Structure 1
Amino acid sequence: MYRTGIALLGALFLLQTAHGQERTDAIPAFKKLDSIEARVQGCVTCHGQLGQGTANGYFPRIAGKPSGYLYNQLVAFRDGTRSYPPMNYLVAYLPDAYLKEIAEHFSAQRPEYQPAEKTTADPAAEQRGLLLATVGDAAKGVPACVACHGKSLTGMDPGIPGLAGLRTAYIAGQLTRWRVGERKAADPDCMKRIASRLSDADIAAVAAWLSRQAPRADASPEPSNLVRMPLACGSQR
């Protein structure tokens, strides 16, 4: 554990250099070197000391997300089924037990949300985003975001992430990656099916609408509702 903690601390400073700036919310807040707080310093460089995310939108909030979801993503980055070089490098040699520890740590965090993003949208786009997020589009076979990600958009146990607190650029980027096949999940890949049915305008509208929603104070995921999900998702088995 000691050597792994040192390796992550080294990765922290490598990532700071790679991004060309110091992150004031990533100042180490640990007292013991051999602690989970110390060992996740490579994570907080981009995601914030408590996983609260950053205002620029490209480093998402991971705090409070179901531990099952966070663990699945860490495994995907480690095994190369999800591609983002800094993350692939950071977790390349970490064992399952360590990844679970990291996932459980950030899942338990409840920092305040960043202020909701202030974006502008024409009335038609605003209405389209609202419709896709809360009702869906039956003609396209697209269920509402809230049907899986929760009425308050805080996710659902055991492995569906919250969308609350995410920025437009991140949401749009992930939907686009799913649509073009750059991001994948276990078959049947429900997000691939949904994203492939969305137009560019749909993605822009729903991403902007979601980013403008003020999250509730309690960021806890909703209880499992997998038996009543609108689509079968292989990643949730």
Structure 2
Amino acid sequence: MDGSIINLRRACMMLAVSVASTLAVMPAAQANEVSAGQTIATHGTAQGVAACIGCHGAKGEGNAAAGFPRLAGLSAAYLSTQLTAFAEGTRPNPIMQPMAKLLTASERSAVASYFAGLPAPAGVKASDSGSVTPANVGAWIATRGRWDQALPACVQCHGPGGIGVAPTFPPLAGQPAAYIASQLHNWKDGKRPPGPMALMPVVASKLSDADITAVADYYAGVGVGVTGAGKSANGSKP
């Protein structure tokens, strides 16, 4: 048999073995990352990072009374991006900045992967957008927008019912009203990075304080669209 053919076959076999080995290792590596993230989330670190669940809940469900957002079910890419923004100081926050700075890039990724894998908590049924009237300010802005003011509906980016569109647009449904309101004010006041396509500062600038309260209250009472553990209404991870 021609030597070049033999060498080609050997190369193909070696490549196949290499790919198989990589595929076999990937789940274990991912499991290790999630495990590391769980340790940080539930116990903190020796470097002084407090356990995430102290503020964000034992299951990442958030704390509505204190205004801490839910993390469970948000995409790992989004969570990792926000932790990096806290660490680099581009997203100011007196609580999160010191914690994020103490985490390495791999630790931030691990924490993000852990919370992304948790199921989002079930919520109340979303309002029927067909019956929404302009008098219901929060629901109207969320589902219809105000096109005479060039204000798009929130659902156009954040998905029906505010379930989120990974990895760029996070879920709004079920987040604490105080948290949503504070972030809208931060964008309006230039205290949070503009985000994808610099949309949010423009959107927030068109909202009055009353509008912000109404939208925040609306999404705080909307269900998260969960059909299974950690899955959104379309069957995919949020």
Q: When the two structures are superposed, what TM-score results if normalisation uses the length of structure 2? A: 0.70
Deviations 1:131-152 (A, max 9, x none): 1000111112111111111103
- Counterpart in the other structure of 1:148: 157
Equivalent positions of 1:144-183 (< 5 A) are 144-183=153-192
The structure-2 alpha-carbon separation of the partners of 1:141 and 1:159, relative to structure 1 and needing over 3 Å to count, comes to same
- Counterpart in the other structure of 1:129: 138
Query: Percent of aligned pairs with the same residue?
Result: 35
Query: Would you say the 8 A contact 2:57–2:63 is kept in 1?
Result: yes
Matched residue count: 184
- Counterpart in the other structure of 1:54: 63
- Counterpart in the other structure of 1:206: 215
The structure-2 alpha-carbon separation of the partners of 1:80 and 1:212, relative to structure 1 and needing over 3 Å to count, comes to same
The structure-2 alpha-carbon separation of the partners of 1:57 and 1:139, relative to structure 1 and needing over 3 Å to count, comes to farther
> Cα distance, 1:128 vs. partner?
1.5
Query: Would you say the 8 A contact 2:161–2:222 is kept in 1?
Result: no
Query: Would you say the 8 A contact 1:178–1:195 is kept in 2?
Result: yes
**Counterpart Cα distance in 2 of 1:124 and 1:146:** 16
Query: Would you say the 8 A contact 1:157–1:222 is kept in 2?
Result: no
> Cα distance, 1:214 vs. partner?
2.7
**Counterpart Cα distance in 2 of 1:114 and 1:59:** 17
Alignment of 1:109 with 2:118, yes or no, is yes
**Counterpart Cα distance in 2 of 1:58 and 1:202:** 18
AA in 2 matched with 1:178: W
AA in 2 matched with 1:72: T
- Counterpart in the other structure of 1:70: 79
- Counterpart in the other structure of 2:41: 40
**Counterpart Cα distance in 1 of 2:211 and 2:142:** 10
- Counterpart in the other structure of 1:220: 231
Q: What is the aligned-residue RMSD (CA, Å)?
A: 2.4
Q: When the two structures are superposed, what TM-score results if normalisation uses the length of structure 1? A: 0.70
**Counterpart Cα distance in 1 of 2:195 and 2:170:** 15
Alignment of 1:138 with 2:143, yes or no, is no
- Counterpart in the other structure of 1:185: 194
Query: Would you say the 8 A contact 1:126–1:205 is kept in 2?
Result: no
Give 3-state SS (helix, strand or coil) of 1:160's partner.
Answer: coil
- Counterpart in the other structure of 1:21: none
The structure-2 alpha-carbon separation of the partners of 1:222 and 1:156, relative to structure 1 and needing over 3 Å to count, comes to farther
The structure-2 alpha-carbon separation of the partners of 1:168 and 1:35, relative to structure 1 and needing over 3 Å to count, comes to closer
AA in 2 matched with 1:38: T
Query: Would you say the 8 A contact 1:140–1:197 is kept in 2?
Result: yes
Deviations 1:65-119 (A, max 9, x none): 1111111110011001111122111111322222111111101100534779xxx
Query: Would you say the 8 A contact 2:151–2:203 is kept in 1?
Result: yes
